[in-house]
Amino acid sequence: MRVAYLVQNHRCPRQAARLVAALRRGGDCRILFVHDEFAGQCSARSLERVLKVEVLPTRRRARRAYLSMIEPYFDGVRHLAETSPRCDWLVYLSAQDYPIRPVAELERMLEATTFDGFLRFWPAFEAQNPWGRPKQGVRRYLFQYHDAPRWTMPALRLLRAFNGLRGFRPPFHAGFHCWAGLAWTVLRRAVAEAATEGFLGDPRLVEWFSRTISPEEAVVQTVLLNSGLFQLCDDDLRYQRFTGSRDGHPHLLSSADLPELLASGKYFARKFDLDVDERVLDELDALSA
């Protein structure tokens, strides 16, 4: 069995290099970075030279809560399908993720499991949901949003309660539900390819989700859960803490969080920032040595 790690990055190489070294400790694996050069940190070519892994540049700037956030994943899946047919599993990470257990343990678990994938998922339109906001899924995925000229922003802030228009003829119905979750997944290669082609091959889905908020947290779940073809586990195998977050970002993790990370039983955690606390990665490396 061989695992491919698809890593989405927009920052300079220093932290990415530590992640690459940690992943390689698991043994033979394929590592592919998809790098957003538009963020201005470094070029894909310079990142490739430092990391000594293949790096694909994104086609456009990845904008938070836009469809462009998930496009690098689809590009990476298609590239791996063409260049790495031997890979059995695809682990999708950000460059601010880090293993909190030996990578070899994850790979042994994947070799033994009967599941086809690990990802978070829940019905998007139910009032009881992990967001803690009864109408969050409706506002995200039943409304259609359009960019307004910058000069209109002051007026739009006053009309925020009326922001978004209820979409006309959504693609969801009794036989095709909208599912939500989190963007980061661990899927068998064939399942990742099915999600990619199932979404990109449906122009109506692409058009609808391109005008929603945070489609990267719904498109893969919607395609896979509606297919009924796969045995999926509602667990993305990573630790992250959103408690009290008001901007949708998980809290930055530090050495003070180490006992909770280790007790979680997860394989990865996010997110880390070397400029804030590098010691936590040193301690995780020592535990995995």
Check if the beta carbon of residue 100 is closer than 8 Å to that of residue 13.
no
Q: What is the pLDDT of residue 162?
A: 57
3-state secondary structure 187-246: EEHHHHHHHHHHHHCCHHHHHHHCCCCCHHHCHHHHHHHHHCCCCEEECCCEECCCCCCC
The more confidently predicted of residues 149 and 71 is: 71
* pLDDT value at 154 more than 70: no
With a pLDDT cut of 70, the percent of the chain lying above it is 92
Q: What is the pLDDT of residue 288?
A: 82
* pLDDT value at 80 more than 70: yes
Find the mean pLDDT for residues 277-286. Answer: 95
Find the mean pLDDT for residues 48-72. Answer: 95
* pLDDT value at 151 more than 90: no
Q: What is the pLDDT of residue 147?
A: 84
CATH class of 3-125+177-288: alpha beta
Domain residue spans of the chain: 3-125+177-288
On the CB side of 119, how many CA atoms lie within 13 Å of its CA? 34
Confidence of residue 158 (pLDDT cuts 50, 70, 90): low
Q: What is the pLDDT of residue 142?
A: 95
Regarding beta strands 89-94 and 143-144, do their DSSP bridges make them parallel or antiparallel, or are they unpaired?
unpaired
Among the residue ranges 4-18, 19-33, 73-87, 155-169, the one predicted with the least confidence is 155-169
Confidence of residue 246 (pLDDT cuts 50, 70, 90): low
In whole angstroms, give the CA distance from residue 66 to residue 68.
5
Confidence of residue 191 (pLDDT cuts 50, 70, 90): very high
Find the mean pLDDT for residues 228-247. Answer: 88
Dihedrals phi, psi of 221, to nearest 5 degrees: -60, -45
Average pLDDT, the chain: 92
* pLDDT value at 156 more than 70: no
Find the mean pLDDT for residues 247-268. Answer: 91
* pLDDT value at 40 more than 90: no
Confidence of residue 247 (pLDDT cuts 50, 70, 90): low
Q: What is the pLDDT of residue 159?
A: 57
* pLDDT value at 7 more than 90: yes
pTM beyond cutoff 0.75: yes
Find the mean pLDDT for residues 147-174. Answer: 71
| Closest C-alpha among 245, 252, 188, 185 to residue 219 | 185
Find the mean pLDDT for residues 147-175. Answer: 71
With a pLDDT cut of 90, the percent of the chain lying above it is 82
* pLDDT value at 20 more than 70: yes
